[in-house]
């Protein structure tokens, strides 16, 4: 396993991060199996684990607590706040000081730890002033409950605004940005990744396999498993739109040829692609099963040639998305 600095935090993390969104009711309900996956990842050299309070509404964090007993000091533990923890409770969400102070205590209790190595704003909250959010997070850092703070899915202009707000008001700045990035969804190259580079943010990549498309399980003529996301959540993962599905399926075949010639699997190709970007510190794996985890653990050993990267660029141009809906925020208009 390779390790790299997480932005300017001084923390060194594995290039692969174990994501736990699929632990619990949203994916794998077998807690013991999830614990074994965490142990397998740690034994393989992964020292970075990412979760969120909203993942199965706290169940993922509770599973992690079981898995990290006796190993907490060897792990960079990250969680997130901000998404609605109860659709009928308007106060249990967002980025206000009121909710942050409650949410962090809830996560610490579920994770059975006295501190978080990275605490992240899960999604932008347009109803809350950034000064309010950063002020509360800064207090958590000063109290020792949080070591570093980060954001997720912020557009480039919001990353800059957050940096300006921190400097102007003497707050702790966001040290990391977690963003969606894959060989099928490259909008982050347009502005977010360069902005993170200019400001020294450590970048975590979520959905590097584009919701399962780059695992290789969705191929021409291949039967789709009834428990896959293509069936469980077809609209969200591009299987309800026949045009997008056809485009991605055709590209998977092209990518598979490049992977074969590079001597790696399709998931390894996809992970190696995002890790090749100079701003990316770590790519988040999101396995539901042990087999899915095993298929991705060797990705750090794959180094793509310039020729292979150029062929991928020819199939999906830099800064573009196969499905425009993969971009979570409006792209800035070209300058005139």
- Residues annotated catalytic, as ranges: 55
| The pair of three-digit structure tokens given for residue 193, joined into one six-digit string | 């990744």
Query: How many whole angstroms separate alpha carbon 205 and alpha carbon 277?
Result: 11
Q: Is 34 left (phi over 0), alpha (psi -120 to 50) or beta?
A: alpha
**Which residue, chain included where needed, has tokens 């021409």?**
220
- End-to-end CA separation in angstroms for the chain: 46
Q: In whole angstroms, what is the distance from residue 291 CA to residue 114 CA?
A: 32
- Nearest-CA neighbor of 325 among 184, 229, 127? 184
Helices 59-67 and 31-43, packing angle to 10 deg:
50
Q: Which residues of 264-300 are buried (b: 16+ CB within 10 A; e: fewer)?
A: bbbbbbbbbbbbebebbbbbbbbbbbeebbebbbbbb
Distance, in Å, from the CA atom of 309 to the CA atom of 258, rounded to the nearest integer, reads 9
* List of residues 6+ apart from 196 with CB closer than 8 A: 159, 177, 179, 202, 203, 279
Distance from C-alpha of 118 to C-alpha of 150, rounded to nearest angstrom: 7
């Amino acid at each position: 396993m390779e390790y790299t600095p997480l932005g300017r935090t001084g923390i060194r993390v594995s290039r692969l991060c174990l994501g736990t969104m699929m632990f619990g009711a949203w994916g794998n309900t077998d807690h013991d199996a999830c614990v074994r996956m965490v142990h397998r990842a740690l034994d393989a050299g992964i020292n970075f684990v990412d979760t969120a309070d909203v993942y199965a509404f706290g169940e993922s964090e509770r599973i992690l607590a079981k898995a990290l007993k006796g190993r907490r000091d060897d792990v960079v533990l990250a969680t997130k706040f901000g998404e609605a923890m109860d659709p009928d409770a308007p106060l249990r969400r967002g980025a206000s000081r009121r909710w942050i102070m409650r949410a962090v205590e809830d996560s610490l209790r579920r994770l059975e730890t006295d501190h978080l190595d990275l605490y992240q704003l899960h999604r932008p909250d347009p109803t809350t002033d950034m000064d309010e959010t950063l002020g509360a997070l800064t207090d958590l850092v000063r109290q020792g409950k949080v070591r570093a703070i980060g954001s997720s899915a912020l557009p480039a202009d919001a990353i800059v605004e957050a940096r300006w707000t921190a400097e102007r008001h003497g707050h702790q700045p966001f040290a990391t940005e977690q963003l969606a990035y894959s060989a099928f969804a490259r909008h982050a190259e347009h502005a977010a990744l360069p902005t993170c580079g200019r400001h020294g943010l450590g970048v975590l990549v979520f959905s590097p396999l584009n919701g399962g498309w780059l695992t290789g399980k969705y191929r021409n003529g291949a039967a789709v498993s009834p428990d896959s996301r293509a069936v469980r959540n077809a609209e969200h993962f591009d299987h309800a739109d026949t045009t997008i599905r056809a485009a991605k399926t055709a590209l998977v075949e092209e990518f598979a040829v490049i992977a074969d010639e590079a001597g790696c699997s399709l998931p390894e190709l996809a992970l190696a692609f995002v890790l090749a970007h100079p701003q990316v510190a770590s790519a988040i794996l999101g396995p539901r099963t042990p087999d899915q985890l095993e298929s991705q653990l060797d990705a750090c050993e794959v180094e793509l040639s310039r020729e292979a990267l150029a062929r991928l660029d020819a199939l999906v141009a830099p800064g573009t998305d196969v499905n425009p809906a993969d971009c979570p925020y409006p792209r800035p208009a070209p300058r005139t």
